[in-house]
Structure 1
Amino acid sequence: MTPLLEARRLVRAFGTRQAVNDVSFGIAAGEALALFGPNGAGKTTLLRLLAGLLKPNSGSAAIAGAALPAPHARARVGLISHRTMLYDTLTARENVRFAAQLHGVPDAESVTQHALEQLRVADRADVPVRALSRGLQQRVAIARAIVHGPDVLLADEPYTGLDEQGASALTGLLLERRSAGAALVVVTHALSEGLAVASHAAVMRAGSFVRHEPTQGLDVARYAAEYRELFA
């Protein structure tokens, strides 16, 4: 299948440290990559390259053939971070609606309401973000990331701070985006949650992929044991 999101030999260094080292992969529409690895493996740097927020030292990334970080390619990306980066004096609704308006979403008000309902935070929509719990803030941040219906959704530890209800809503949302034809990359330390939403899984260590395969037929317990052996 033709990749919707493609990385070609991406390299990104910070000084002498190779944060991302010769990473290549492709994800077609309706596919999701679960990306695992220890802290410092380069996962967040890779997501920033794929979002067009960082330029690689070499290699390239593209969305439907459009090279990042071109603005028209970046506009097709939604990024969920473990840092919410919300405007804390604005309400949940205002944060999400502002993102919708920036992306030129028609009928931004109703689309905003739908996104808040998907994340089960509509009942707190008119509360200033600073008055919300960390978990509810994360739900608002996720709603903001998906309000424009991105073709590519990048999620960096998206389950951080979420309770059971929030985690369930997020998993449902990720599966829905896959069904709608989006390409997903989900960075998480939770192997079972990542494998549950993914069509492919990869393990990153020292900036490189050391394992990359389809998830079909994978046994979660065996995969977890083999993962632990990699970093023993």
Structure 2
Amino acid sequence: MEAAIRAQKLTKAFGTRKAVDRVTFEVPCGAFLSIFGPNGAGKTTLLRMLSTLVRPTKGEAWLMGIDMREEPDCAREHIGLISHNSMLYPDLTAEENLMVYARLYGVHNPEQRVLDMLEAVELKHRRHDVVRTFSRGMTQRLSIARALIHNPDVVFLDEPYSGLDPHAVEIFDELIDAQRAGRTFVMVSHDLRKGFDMCTHALVMAKGHIVTFDEKGNLDFGEFADLYRATVGMGVS
């Protein structure tokens, strides 16, 4: 089976500084990869390259077998992105926002798909309300619907829990769990415990390099936390 993601010596430089330096790894289809590291480690830059938002300086990457440097538009058809930035239009309604993205991706029967996704994220009753009236948790739930509207194979999550209250976190967890079957997830997280609990594979970065990358089944959390502290000089909180 083709790996969902393959990165080969992937590098991103900003001037003389290499934010990501010769990173190589593979993510199997259906896996959940959590990426950890301190600020400035290169986590978000790596995610942005893998989601085609940033072009690498050197190296290669493939998503669902597609060369992301040669065919970025084709790769984007397979990608969903969820972050602390909702990428929603605040003055449009929930339904209008999803319709924009459904039509952008050429979704078949977009009206029904929009209604189905609003129901999945428990916002169908607010479909005619403008997004600027939504709470942070509701906005994030709608951003999940936006990211999944075209049924992507790979979903990227960049610190998706930022700013969510405990109840919103619980709802978000349930929504992600319901969408995991048949999809590959890649999440950048500062929360070592939560990111470790959710993942099937864990990757730690520091100074643009991979410190460790392994299946969770090969890692004990206590030992993993000790390795993280020793490597990047941070705690597990």
- The amino acid that maps onto 1:231 is V
Indicate if the aligned counterparts of 1:136 and 1:162 stay in contact, CA closer than 8 A.
no
Q: CA deviation at 1:167?
A: 2.2
TM-score by length of 1: 0.91
- The amino acid that maps onto 1:8 is Q
State whether structure 2 residue 12 is matched by structure 1 residue 17.
Answer: no
Output one character per residue of 1:107-160: Cα deviation in whole Å (capped at 9) or x when no partner: 222222232233333332221111112222222112101111101111101112
- The amino acid that maps onto 1:125 is R
Indicate if the aligned counterparts of 1:138 and 1:161 stay in contact, CA closer than 8 A.
no
Where structure 1 has 5 or more consecutive residues not aligned to the other structure, the ranges are none
- The amino acid that maps onto 2:64 is A
Report the Cα distance in structure 2 between the residues aligned to 1:120 and 1:225, rounded to whole angstroms.
Answer: 39
Q: Report the counterpart of residue 209 of structure 2 in structure 1.
A: 208
Report the Cα distance in structure 1 between the residues aligned to 2:126 and 2:91, rounded to whole angstroms.
Answer: 14
Report the Cα distance in structure 2 between the residues aligned to 1:188 and 1:158, rounded to whole angstroms.
Answer: 8
Q: 1:30 to 1:66 in 2, by over 3 A?
A: same
Q: Report the counterpart of residue 40 of structure 2 in structure 1.
A: 40
Q: CA deviation at 1:206?
A: 1.0
Output one character per residue of 1:19-67: Cα deviation in whole Å (capped at 9) or x when no partner: 1111111112111111011111111111111111211111111112211
TM-score by length of 2: 0.89
Query: Greater CA deviation, 144-153 or 162-171?
Result: 162-171
Q: CA deviation at 1:217?
A: 5.3
Q: 1:148 aligns with which of 147, 150, 154?
A: 150
Indicate if the aligned counterparts of 1:138 and 1:160 stay in contact, CA closer than 8 A.
no
Q: 1:176 to 1:136 in 2, by over 3 A?
A: closer
Output one character per residue of 1:69-96: Cα deviation in whole Å (capped at 9) or x when no partner: 4211111111112111211110122112
Q: Report the counterpart of residue 193 of structure 1 in structure 2.
A: 194
Across the aligned residues of Structure 1 and Structure 2, the Cα RMSD in angstroms comes to 1.8
State whether structure 2 residue 119 is matched by structure 1 residue 117.
Answer: yes
Where structure 2 has 5 or more consecutive residues not aligned to the other structure, the ranges are none
Report the Cα distance in structure 1 between the residues aligned to 2:209 and 2:110, rounded to whole angstroms.
Answer: 40
Question: Once superposed, which parts of structure 1, at least 4 consecutive aligned residues long, lie more than 6 Å away?
Answer: none
Matches within 5 A, 1:63-74: 63-69=63-69, 70=71, 71-74=73-76
Report the Cα distance in structure 2 between the residues aligned to 1:109 and 1:116, rounded to whole angstroms.
Answer: 11
Percentage of pairs with the same residue = 42
Q: CA deviation at 1:224?
A: 2.7
Indicate if the aligned counterparts of 2:32 and 2:199 stay in contact, CA closer than 8 A.
yes
